[in-house]
Amino acid sequence: MTEFVEIKINLSAMGWEDRFPGAKVYIDDQLIFDKIISNTEQIDWTGKLVDGEHKIIVEMYNKHEGDTVISDDNNIVNDVVLNIDNVIIDEVELGSLVWSASTYYPSGEDSPESLNNCVNLGWNGSWELPFSAPTYLWLLDNL
């Protein structure tokens, strides 16, 4: 079986001067958005999904060496960060599920292999939120 699913993803960024993160957004392996984020963005996608497991993937890119500035007393003065503010599936806000059901896979020499409970992406890498269709059953089981 297949169903039409409506997904909205709200992103924002922290940056400085001309330094801002890029975001690519995928539904499974389908690229639906690719842009440098300097303000807030809402990504809207509607499409058919077959019953079974799926993923929303947000890939942060465009962070470079020197984009994080740390003061002498070890406080971050400037940084480049991509924030996943909200995800809405079929008009249902996922709320804390965006945070608790996702995994972030940062890439970089000083980054951990993965982070749970993270929606503020400070390294280039991929954030993944698994879900399943039919979405109403997944929402009932997880909210």
pLDDT per position as a tens digit, 94-103: 999 999 999 9
134: preceding bond cis by omega (within 30 degrees): yes
The model's pTM is 0.91
Instruction: Provide the 10 A C-beta neighbour count for residue 75.
Output: 8
Q: What value does the mean pLDDT take over residues 104-118?
A: 89
Q: Which residues contact 62 (CB under 8 A, 6 or more apart)?
A: 20, 21, 22, 36, 80, 124
Q: Which helix (H) or strand (E) holds 137?
A: helix 135-142
